[in-house]
Structure 1
Amino acid sequence: MGDNGSYVVFAASLAGVVSGCAFVWLTPLLPQLKSENSEVPMTEAELSWVVSIIEIGDIFTPVPSALLADRLGRKPVLLASGPFQLAAWLIILLSRSVAGLCIARFIQGLAMGIMYAVLPIYLAEIASPAVRGSVGIFVQYSWYFGLIFEYSIGPFLTYSQIIWASMPLTIVSISEITMRFLV
């Protein structure tokens, strides 16, 4: 890796952080969502669908993403997960319905599948053999950082506040600065 290698690994790993955040942001809010004063009233069955539908979205994108990464390149396909995540956060912010949340969580799953298929390949390709293992672990580190971020702030925030706290990570991951390092 060149002089900017650390920045490239960090910038690319933001996709993992964003996916980790998307995966668990609802979990700290479960007590609020189950309450009578919930911002999105739903039954237990609806809540279970909203929480788990992200995994259904995750099923559809890994294979096409890997094929597209071979054809178009790893960087553009990895960067493509960002707009999916941003669209999902905007739907979550603007929608206060179970259907809207299900659609958004499905989209977050699509983006998560792209990240998990392409980020490990990209990081392995940019790393020299001497540091490839160390760099490869950033996929999991970034994922866990996203989880820890949400679990750390989530219990103290409302539905809207957690969205506003999580969305900027997605914006940074698709920002000009990040794209400059990756492209």
Structure 2
Amino acid sequence: MEKSSNGNVGFVTLVSIVAAVGGLLFGYDTSVISGAIGFIQTKFGFGNAMQGWVVSCLMIGAIIGAAFAGFLSDRLGRKKMLIAAGLLFTIGSISSAVASNITIFVTARIIGGIGIGVSSTLVPLYIAEIAPSKHRGRLVSLNQLAVVIGISAIYFVNRAIVNAGSQTWDINYSWRWMFGCGLIPGILFVILLFLVPESPRWLHKKGLEKKSFTILEKINGTQQAKKELEDMKKSIQKETSGSLSLLFKSGYRTALLIGVVLAILQQVTGINAIMYYAPEIFKKVGVGTNASFTETIIVGLVNFVFTIVSLWLIDKAGRKTLLVIGAAVMTVSLAVVGFEFNAAHPNGTLILIFILLFVAAFAVSFGPIVWLVIAEIFPTSIRGRATAIASVALWLADYVVSQFFPVLLGKTGASMTFYIFAILGVVAFIFSLTVVRETKGKTLEEIETDWLKS
């Protein structure tokens, strides 16, 4: 591809796609459990509480990975840590597939989870640091699209594997194949990462100005590269230290609040309860195993289609507008699902429709935008560690939801469970409307300066 004075959009798009394969690993590994959990539970014989732990143990690993990802990426670089994430995911996939008991399985899931925690934190951050401001929204959102592709792909993989043998075969072997197939994207991710450059902002922070400028020039063109390099210098001069205490300065405190609260709200409104337990939810309204897997595939396809829609909208409508509208539609959808589950004879078709509406609204709002906002609102000198704080909050919330959802479903019923999610949807709507700020079209350095003015 030729480099012009206006930069090379094709190059940065290819680099972003390579990085976004980490999102595919994220989607694959978090959702593969939805098709496997029933067979694993039968194979090893455990109850609802243990079911929650088997599903949520991945998040323990993700919390660990996210906690260390920021610090290590600020020291070693974004690229090296992403390669490490791919290797951990691959090890976790193989080990899960060959596990001879539930303890080994859980340990393998935690190892894979560490890789997922690292990649979920650093992929959007890396793309945000390399992307031109006018394309940053849709390029960072490629990560969420890859997550959704991973989720959708595993639904098809799970269904194909389930249909390949008898019920006895499913219990003993199908879930092993579900996890083992993760080896393919894991190895692909590691290989492709050797072909992409390091983050230019990380290079500049480490004093490698010439290398940083070379990458910026290839992405943005000479004139814009010079401007961004100058903005980086000014930004670093303003920051007296690279310690996390910077986040507690006036202005940056708001950035930290927005990052952490949005991360939590993304999870506690119920998206991963639906993604992880979709087949079990549909069984609640009386559909069989094959039908529940088919309806789960429909959920994945809707998620995929509307994530593509978000790529088109995110740099046009803006972050805040989509969050507000998305939260409103999500809340109404959850309330209707809760109401239907409370009926004497729940309408399975209506429940499916409003779950799909919820997923569609999430896919154009809280799905991609939360990761984007977390990646772009923090100062350059501590972006890795600050992003890690928000990512840890997100994975902690994910852990709580996935651990206690089956227990909550069993004790209070589906209706009350979805009503709780709807109430939290109201909180998400109010917070997005009153606290979140718009960052559309601004460079990372301009966003940083805006915080200091507030």
TM-score bracket, shorter-length normalisation: 0.7 to 0.9
Identity of aligned residues (%): 22
Could you tell me which runs of 5 or more consecutive residues in structure 1 were left unpaired when the two chains were aligned.
Answer: none
Query: Residues 1-183 of structure 1: matches in 2 within 5 Å?
Result: 2=8, 3-35=10-42, 38=43, 41-44=44-47, 45-157=49-161, 158-175=174-191, 177-182=192-197
Cα 1:33–1:61 shift into 2, 3 Å: closer
TM-score under structure 2 length normalisation: 0.37
> 2:255: which partner in 1?
none
Q: Which of these two proteins has the greater Rg computed from alpha carbons? A: 2
TM superposition shift of 1:6: 2.2
The answer as to whether partners of 1:84 and 1:108 remain within 8 angstroms in 2 is: yes
Pick which of 140-149 and 54-63 moved more.
54-63
Deviation at 1:34, TM superposition (A): 3.6
Letter in 2 for 1:122: Y
- Name the aligned partner's letter for residue 22 of structure 2: A
Q: 1: CA distance between counterparts of 2:72 and 2:23?
A: 19
Answer 1 or 2: higher relative contact order, Cα 8 Å, separation at least 6: 1
Q: Confirm or deny: 8 A CA contact 1:60 1:110 kept in the other structure.
A: yes
Check conservation: 1:56, 1:109, Cα contact below 8 A. yes
Using the alignment, how far apart are the partners of 2:152 and 2:188 within structure 1?
A: 18
Shift of the 23–50 alpha-carbon distance from structure 1 to 2, 3 Å rule, reads same
Distance 2:34 2:95 in 1: 18
Residue type matched to 1:28 in 2? G
Quickly say closer, same or farther: Cα 1:152–1:56, change in 2 above 3 A. same
Residues 76-113 of structure 1 deviation map (CA, whole Å, 9 limit, x = unaligned): 11121011111111211221210111101111221111
**Equivalent pair of 2:92/2:112 in contact (CA under 8 Å):** yes
Compute the TM-score of the two structures, normalised by the length of structure 1.
Answer: 0.88
Superposed CA offset, 1:17-41 (max 9, x none) = 0111111112112332344xx3xx2
CA distance in 2, matches of 1:98, 1:88: 14
> Does the aligned pair in 2 maintain the 1:89–1:104 contact within 8 Å?
yes
Q: Which runs of 4+ in 1 moved over 4 A?
A: none
Alpha-carbon distance in 2 for matches of 1:74, 1:18: 17
Q: Deviations over 1:23-73 (max 9, x none)?
A: 1112112332344xx3xx231243332111111122222232112111111
Is residue 25–residue 185 contact of structure 2 (8 Å, CA) maintained in 1?
yes
Query: 1: CA distance between counterparts of 2:117 and 2:177?
Result: 26
Q: Partners in 1 of 2:160 and 2:51 — Cα distance?
A: 20
Q: Do 1:46 and 1:98's aligned partners in 2 also have CA atoms closer than 8 Å?
A: no
Distance 1:181 1:80 in 2: 15
Shift of the alpha carbon at 1:114?
Answer: 0.6
Contact kept in structure 1, 2:21 and 2:143, CA below 8 Å = no
Q: How much does 1:182 deviate?
A: 4.7
Cα drift, residue 144 of structure 1: 1.3
CA distance in 2, matches of 1:68, 1:178: 17
Q: What amino acid is the match of 1:159?
A: W
How far apart in 2 are the matches of 1:129 and 1:168? 33
Q: Contact 1:11/1:182 (CA < 8 Å) preserved in 2?
A: no
Task: Determine the C-alpha separation between the residues in 1 that align with 2:113 and 2:160.
Answer: 25
What is the alpha-carbon distance in structure 2 between the residues aligned to residue 60 and residue 165 of structure 1? 24
More displaced stretch, 10-19 vs 157-166: 157-166
Q: What is the number of residues matched between the two proteins?
A: 178
